[in-house]
Structure 1
Amino acid sequence: MNKFVKSILALGITSALGLSAVNAATYQVIDKGNVSSLKYTYSQQENNNGEAAISGTDIYNFPVQFQYFDEEDYDFIVLLAERSHEGVHDLVNIEDEVALRAGNPTANDLSWVIRFLSSRAGNSLYQEVGDVFAMTNFNGQTELFNVFDENIPNTDILTRSTKEFISGITNEGWVYGNASAPYLPLDFTKSDAEEVTHWLRAFTTRGFFSSDGGASIIEVIPPSETDLPEDQRFGGESAILDISESHFAVGYASTSIDQNAIDFINDETGGCADPDILADLPFKVCVQQIIAEVYNTEAIKWSIDEQGIISSEILGQLVTPHVDDVREYTNYAQAINNQGVAVGYAHGWVNENVTEPSARERRSIYAVVYKNGEVMDFTEDHGKYFDSRTYDINDAGIAIGHVNAFINGNQRTKFYHVDTNAETMEMILPTDFFNGSSSTARAINESGKIVGEGEVETHNDNTSTPRRTHGFLYDITSETFTDLNDFLACGSDYTIIEARDINDANEVSATALIRVPRRDSKGELMLDEQGEQLLEDVVRAVTLQPIAGELEDCSAVEEKVERQGAGFGLSSILLLTFAGLARRLTWKRKLKQ
């Protein structure tokens, strides 16, 4: 029943700083993310049988299709490397331009090609780099599985242009989430007889589930693709964000499309139906350029079985906009328990007392519960708390998430729990790492244990130096808050930076930082000038498994690390690495305020 946001935090963390003064060796780290084809992996969810849903990014040997490059593209790649290499960690200027132009680049030069393609994201004339992958761990083996990707025409190679977001795994081993369609080449001749290739996909994102661990995929077709007229069907959007053991599924799906978009698509004087435009651009490519942000989505609850969807229910909006308010209104259902009570977030009025909203009424996002046919907001004081989210709910009806507030003049997120059974629901905000720390709760198990992550540094954070985060465990019954790293043995190789799930055996699905041998873009080990193996910090999906243990005094270990701290000088460079990783793993569309 747990739901996890599909983005990893911007991480400014180094292995050297990951130890606390006192650690309890009551958890051992089980590494489930060591995948030979990927650089980074991160945890999503683990069921009560120890089976896990895992995501990853940065695939080695990305299948660049060099036959679609022209000489100007190669010129730009060479110029990009020449102008940028001094500011990019681990990369140097182009090593072998002749081999590059022949489509056989060195690993260093392949990295520059991938950077070039990434800089062209959204431009249909260039191959897309998807680079977010879904994985499962059954019987201790982590393996990739394909959701909607297809082979590049006339090859047996997947396009790797899809973004596959696996949300979780049930105790039966059902996996679920949402993924995009692959970009496939479409040849086109322009009005001046120039032949070009566009890269086209069928939809932006679509929900899926699999009752056999990913071997077969069942798509969730959104209402916009079944209920709208054929000329308004452009793929739609949907996602399954949680499935309960009673086979309730929740998420969101597109139910309509913005009228302004329809008008533009059908416009024959400047829009996608304009004959002058169609002479130089395929109709579907024109639609693709605008379609990602134009769907109106609704929170939906589905009843499902192994064959597919049995029934569906639109859960409703938190507020009713003015008749002249044409903005998109977002509402997501993030999690559902076995009683059918769902939680999530939705647009609501900043002034919670508004009964007759204007056409441009001020709004924000608020945590909600979907129960008994109602959508209820429990962010009680919108003047104090705002922009809240709910991410999980257990069978006892305890929901968790985070809410924004101003603390000492700075906007921070704070994790909370709330009893959705109460007549007056009240968010409880426990003490976390420190007063000015931003924290988020991601999951809660049936015994009331909550996991998430929070900031552990006190400096003023900004985009260039984000605060380090650690995963935490909070016990509602004992009201105890603990840094998850305090449960590990002294000198652990892993620093737990976030926690995404906790099952009923108190096993924590987390993401850790660990130092490993460095590999290039082709997956080959990298050596320094003396032939010594280079190392780097990566994020890795792990499980924290409870063990019998006692408190350990790690003061001596920490003192040694502090004396040797200069040996871990990559932290400033890692900020750039992980900031880029965060962008690739962002899945939620930008909310239009």
Structure 2
Amino acid sequence: MKLKFDRAISLVAAGVITALQTAHAAPVYEIQNIQDYDLNGTLESTINGYGMFVNQQDKMVGISKGKKKLEVDDETGSAIDIEEGIPPEQRVSYSINLPIIANNFTFDADGNGASGSWIPTFDSVFGTTHPKDTDADQPETINSINAYYYGINNNGVKIGSYTAPEQKTEFTGERNDNNQDQEYWYYREFEERGFLKTAEGTDIALVPPYTVYSKDDTDVVVGGVSVAAAINDNNLITGYATTDLAKSSASRIDSCIDGETYPVDVCVQNDQYPDSNSVRRIIYQTRAFVWQFDGTDVTPTELPLGLESTSDNVFTAQGLGVNSQGTVAGRSHVYRNDNKDKLAFDAAYWKKDAQGDYQYHWVKMTNDQLYSVANDINDNGILIGSYHRYIEGYPRDKFFYLDTNAEDPTFVTPNDFYNVMSDRSSRPRDINNKDQVVGDIEVTAEKELPRMKGAFLYDKASDEFNVIDDLLVCESKGYVKDDAGKWTRNQVEVVDGDGKTLYYDSEIRIVEANSINDDGTIVGTAFIRKPSYQYDEKGNLVIGENGKPLFALNANGQPVTAYLPRMVVLKPTTSGTACEVEETDNSGNGKYERKGAASFAWLLLLPLVWLRRRVQV
């Protein structure tokens, strides 16, 4: 995900968000991977890190995105120190005319890891290379496989998705001023495929049923799509896979077969890439699946669609969560109440009947809910998800839960802010077997403006809803006690390219909680504050006399700061108390005007890695 930090504004309003019910002995949390008021939360040579899932053994998986662009001093030829601020990202484009460069990398971390507690450690998938070992100037080192981890069970089996490696074929197109030196076209066999990685380190692909398009005597590898989204301790995996090509997409492949502009594989790749609106031009019929892994082989089972398909329309179903009984949570196209005028993409679950066959169950929605999704289900049969509807004239997503073991399962929308159901969008990500739910919620209330997001923790038993930032000890929010015993923002010291010493305030915000185990350990994403560098008109770093980059400064000569996402690990603590310092000035009294503005853009969006697991069709 690439966002331009093109606006620097104060975030004072971010502190005016919380009057939640914390009187029911809500747990107090500490960040575990904090280091000098910074987060060790991404792989070396990458910019962004995201925590995805944690199991009961305190082993977690995550994703790093955004390989740092290597900056070299033109005069000395030596690398430039870009660690203190926000470094530039290596640009990755979708083009059949350029080598394929990966920008997503898998890692794991362990509370008792050999290299240290909760240290992100690169974990290769199908031969991927560590981002620190790849160099754009040395093609043989370039990693072309994008890989994603989404889960790990208590047996140590990891699951996720990956892309095929780059292939190339001789360039035979017409020459022009832009391609005089082009030697090859670049393509790959598939764009996304689910996989599992055994505890011993063996990678096993989950090949979708549909990968080859056939016309007359010609077979074309289109690759298909599959994703492994969740796994239980019986090594049952759920996700989704493609079963056929959409009729409109078949026409595109026919044009590739009959066309003369590109080789067929290159033509197909060109259509597989998203267009300028990020829309895929080749689409598939997609169905929810489970795969049973027996330690050696994988047995796939297609789950029923939520409707009878008798047309060429494209219908989709996805498995997104699974409990120990094998019940699957997800979503499917469905005709609501069997009314063919009411097609919707709704939350669903699949449960085995007495004969051991999976049966589809619709999570009943009304016409007020435009669409919905179920993200997970625990061993108690409590399903969590969200629906999309208009509230006070604005489209919002709202978190719900549903007891699938009830005689007449009906979804419940919990209260959130001020013990009422607010108009703020909320989306759950995970539920443990103690009926604790984590996810994200909007924490500002502007009607006409984008809203900032924060992670939440909801306890079903007490019906208690908390923003996780309000459960942190002060040190985990970027505060330090001064000599008078008052909490103040930790001051970070950096040296500018002109040798001047500058300062900015530490700040950590938990913006996304993706997983919670039964011990209450939470992993997700936090934003940390970093100073921004200066760039010239060509987009190059401005280097000072001492060989270091110059920081962007505000009118007061202080660093302009912005936010970067980092993997975060949180554990309940009994040795501390929740920080009661309001967003005030450094003395702890009065309104806090931050020293140096902060980019608002990162707080408006959550990582796109969730689009792949929870949204992508």
Which category describes the TM-score, using the shorter chain as reference length? 0.7 to 0.9
3-state SS, counterpart of residue 567 of structure 1: coil
**Aligned equivalent of 2:319, options 333, 336, 339:** 333
The corresponding residue for 1:352 is: 337
3-state SS, counterpart of residue 285 of structure 1: helix
Whether 1:571 and 2:571 are equivalent positions in the alignment is no
Give, in whole Å, the separation in 2 of the partners of 1:232 and 1:431: 52
3-state SS, counterpart of residue 474 of structure 2: coil
| Structure number with higher helix proportion | 1
1:132–1:585 contact (8 Å) kept in structure 2: no
Equivalent pairs counted in the alignment come to 522
TM-score (norm 2): 0.74
Equivalent residue letter for 1:48: Q
Give, in whole Å, the separation in 1 of the partners of 2:327 and 2:203: 26
Structure 1 residues 394 and 367: CA distance shift in structure 2, 3 A: same
* Structural RMSD (CA): 4.1
Q: CA deviation at 1:49?
A: 1.3
**Aligned equivalent of 2:410, options 413, 426, 432:** 426
1:208–1:219 contact (8 Å) kept in structure 2: yes
Q: CA deviation at 1:485?
A: 1.1
Equivalent residue letter for 2:28: T
Whether 1:144 and 2:152 are equivalent positions in the alignment is no
Structure 1 residues 363 and 13: CA distance shift in structure 2, 3 A: farther
Equivalent residue letter for 1:544: L
Q: CA deviation at 1:418?
A: 0.5
The corresponding residue for 1:179 is: 162
2:306–2:333 contact (8 Å) kept in structure 1: yes
**Aligned equivalent of 1:30, options 29, 32, 47:** 32
Whether 1:272 and 2:272 are equivalent positions in the alignment is no
1:25–1:550 contact (8 Å) kept in structure 2: no
Whether 1:248 and 2:231 are equivalent positions in the alignment is no
The corresponding residue for 1:482 is: 466
1:7–1:587 contact (8 Å) kept in structure 2: no
3-state SS, counterpart of residue 416 of structure 1: strand
Give, in whole Å, the separation in 1 of the partners of 2:563 and 2:432: 31
Equivalent residue letter for 1:501: S
Cα deviation code 1:441-487 (max 9, x no counterpart): 1111111111111001010255xxx2111111111111111111111
Q: CA deviation at 1:263?
A: 4.0
Q: CA deviation at 1:338?
A: 1.0
The corresponding residue for 1:402 is: 386
Equivalent residue letter for 1:475: D
Equivalent residue letter for 2:551: D
Which residues of 2 match residues 547-566 of structure 1 at below 5 A? Answer: 547-549=573-575, 551=577, 554-555=580-581, 558=584, 560=586, 563-566=591-594
Give, in whole Å, the separation in 2 of the partners of 1:113 and 1:40: 10
Q: Which moved more, 1:12-21 or 1:409-418?
A: 12-21
Cα deviation code 1:197-242 (max 9, x no counterpart): 22211101001111127x3311111111489898254212111111
Equivalent residue letter for 2:431: I
Query: Percent identity among equivalent residues?
Result: 24
Structure 1 residues 206 and 316: CA distance shift in structure 2, 3 A: same
Q: Which moved more, 1:53-62 or 1:19-28?
A: 19-28
**Aligned equivalent of 2:612, options 565, 587, 591:** 587
Whether 1:537 and 2:545 are equivalent positions in the alignment is no
Give, in whole Å, the separation in 1 of the partners of 2:172 and 2:404: 59
Whether 1:528 and 2:561 are equivalent positions in the alignment is no
Q: CA deviation at 1:113?
A: 9.3
- Consecutive unaligned residues in structure 1, runs of 5 or more: 1-5, 64-93
The corresponding residue for 1:59 is: 67
The corresponding residue for 1:135 is: 107
Cα deviation code 1:112-171 (max 9, x no counterpart): 9944xx4xx332112344412211113123112232466899957543443322111111
Q: Which moved more, 1:178-187 or 1:250-259?
A: 178-187
1:131–1:584 contact (8 Å) kept in structure 2: no
TM-score (norm 1): 0.77
3-state SS, counterpart of residue 455 of structure 2: strand
2:472–2:578 contact (8 Å) kept in structure 1: no
Q: Which moved more, 1:135-144 or 1:472-481?
A: 135-144
Structure 1 residues 183 and 565: CA distance shift in structure 2, 3 A: farther
Q: CA deviation at 1:314?
A: 0.7
Cα deviation code 1:412-464 (max 9, x no counterpart): 111011011123111010012361100011111111111111001010255xx
Give, in whole Å, the separation in 1 of the partners of 2:614 and 2:142: 23
3-state SS, counterpart of residue 473 of structure 2: coil
3-state SS, counterpart of residue 171 of structure 2: strand
Cα deviation code 1:464-517 (max 9, x no counterpart): xx2111111111111111111111123622211111111010111121111246
Give, in whole Å, the separation in 2 of the partners of 1:590 and 1:442: 12
3-state SS, counterpart of residue 219 of structure 2: helix
Q: CA deviation at 1:50?
A: 1.1
Structure 1 residues 13 and 168: CA distance shift in structure 2, 3 A: farther
1:149–1:181 contact (8 Å) kept in structure 2: no
The corresponding residue for 1:312 is: 300
Structure 1 residues 535 and 526: CA distance shift in structure 2, 3 A: farther
Give, in whole Å, the separation in 2 of the partners of 1:519 and 1:217: 40
Whether 1:450 and 2:442 are equivalent positions in the alignment is no
The corresponding residue for 2:36 is: none
Whether 1:436 and 2:423 are equivalent positions in the alignment is yes
Give, in whole Å, the separation in 2 of the partners of 1:7 and 1:519: 16
Structure 1 residues 500 and 365: CA distance shift in structure 2, 3 A: same
Structure 1 residues 105 and 136: CA distance shift in structure 2, 3 A: closer
1:510–1:543 contact (8 Å) kept in structure 2: yes
Give, in whole Å, the separation in 2 of the partners of 1:282 and 1:54: 37
Give, in whole Å, the separation in 1 of the partners of 2:442 and 2:430: 17
Higher-RCO chain (CA-CA 8 Å, sequence separation at least 6):
1
**Aligned equivalent of 2:226, options 223, 234, 238:** 238
Give, in whole Å, the separation in 2 of the partners of 1:198 and 1:345: 38
Q: CA deviation at 1:185?
A: 3.7
Give, in whole Å, the separation in 2 of the partners of 1:196 and 1:233: 23
Give, in whole Å, the separation in 2 of the partners of 1:330 and 1:567: 49
- Consecutive unaligned residues in structure 2, runs of 5 or more: 34-39, 273-279, 353-357, 479-507, 535-539, 542-546
Whether 1:50 and 2:52 are equivalent positions in the alignment is no
Whether 1:363 and 2:343 are equivalent positions in the alignment is yes
